[in-house]
Amino acid sequence: MKQSSIATPATDPAPIFELYRGIFATTLISAAVAEFKLFDHLANGPRNEVELANELRLTPRAGVVLFTALKAMGLLTSSSPGEIALTEISREHLVHGSEFEICAYVSQLSESEAVREMAERLRTSRPAGGKPQEKGVAFIYREGMPSAMEAEATARLHTLALAGRAKNVAPVLAERVPLTDAKLLLDVGGGTGIYSIACLKRHPKLRAIVWDRPQVLKVAKEFADQAGVADRLELIPGDMFVDPVPANCDVILLSNILHDWDVAECKQIVARLAPALPKGGRLMIHDAFLNDTMDGPLAVALYSANLFRVTEGRCYSAAEYRSWLAEVGLKCGDTIATLAHCSVLIGSNG
């Protein structure tokens, strides 16, 4: 990152991410048809989503990820709230035994590593590496679980890979969120510090804290030095589920953090953070939001499938986030779009 630059990218990289995630359309369609025979289960009429997920032995999280993506693809529809049904195209082409079905065609890759892995994730609802004998490591940190975020080399590689997206989005976020009156920003799980650094560059009186795992903070230290804002950025190692929330922040940022966690953990994180805010303080959730109707956009639904693979989370809708912020007494305004399919939702304390 060039020192003192507050430039924003000229083009949104969103179309590249969208194409790059095409693999998850393939794996979800193939797993749905070949592994779960999902469309066959709907051949006799609409079903309750939760009941169908149970019947297919999918956790609620797996069910939401799979059903949302297939709705976004036009292969499932919500016949009434909480119910799903076939669409004209899936009824004609994805039910085994129909005259014009292409089930075997879209099952051709079902023995590939990509489809087998997605089917396994959907069955277990555990990220890769959640068990010691499994290939790969999880991209989240949870005490007692092998994590890419604890081994220095992999943490660095993974962090830098994700940084490519953050570098694009952070200056746009810094430009668009209201921070003029903010004094101390707490960047929870802030990784490389890229979001904090972008905010510090745009607001010369702002100070910030990146609160994350110690291995990840080493990258943040380098980036802050390069950007010339190290004197206003504090790096605090910690575990957001356990350690006391760093004090005196008036703005808390959760940028692409909650999507790593299941609903219970998201609520727990929000409930731990909200009490740390002063009157007038703000909690900002920056993430890729699903539609409130949980049927798209396709790009976010496929991103959600990837998060499902490698974390304990998924993408959530702004409505889901609003409800959790309301539970802890925060009031939300409209969402503010940034870049790369992301938006910010701000919950204010009074």
Query: How many CB atoms within 10 Å of residue 142?
Result: 18
Q: Does 85 bind its own copies (CB under 8 A)?
A: no
Closest to its own copies by CB, 160 or 326? 160
How far apart are alpha carbons 206 and 251 in whole angstroms?
A: 10
Q: Does 100 bind its own copies (CB under 8 A)?
A: yes
Q: Does 9 bind its own copies (CB under 8 A)?
A: yes
Q: DSSP class of residue 243? A: S
Closest to its own copies by CB, 219 or 332? 219
Closest to its own copies by CB, 251 or 339? 339
The nearest distance, CB 151 to its own copies, in angstroms, is: 16
Q: DSSP class of residue 246? A: P
Tokens of 153: 């080399």
* Interface with its own copies: number of residues (CB under 8 A): 55
Closest to its own copies by CB, 88 or 143? 88
Q: Does 324 bind its own copies (CB under 8 A)?
A: no
Cis peptide before 178 (omega within 30 of 0): no
How far apart are alpha carbons 57 and 122 in whole angstroms?
A: 9
How far apart are alpha carbons 8 and 157 in whole angstroms?
A: 24
Q: Does 20 bind its own copies (CB under 8 A)?
A: yes
Q: In this chain, which of 43, 50, 85, 114 binds its own copies, going by CB under 8 A? A: 114
Binders of its own copies among residues 28 to 57 (CB under 8 A) are 29-30
The nearest distance, CB 227 to its own copies, in angstroms, is: 13
Q: DSSP class of residue 317? A: B
Closest to its own copies by CB, 22 or 228? 22
Question: Residue 102 half-sphere exposure, CB side, CA atoms within 13 Å?
Answer: 8
Helices vs. strands in the chain: H and E counts, helices first = 12, 11
The nearest distance, CB 172 to its own copies, in angstroms, is: 11
Q: In this chain, which of 48, 54, 82, 160 binds its own copies, going by CB under 8 A? A: 160
Give 254: exposed, middle or buried? Use CB within 10 Å, 0-12, 13-18, 19+.
buried
Q: In this chain, which of 167, 221, 267, 272 binds its own copies, going by CB under 8 A? A: 167
How far apart are alpha carbons 207 and 184 in whole angstroms?
A: 5
State the residues that interact with its own copies by CB under 8 A. 1-2, 5, 7, 9-11, 13, 15-17, 19-27, 29-30, 73-75, 88-90, 92-94, 99-109, 112-114, 157, 160-165, 167-168, 302
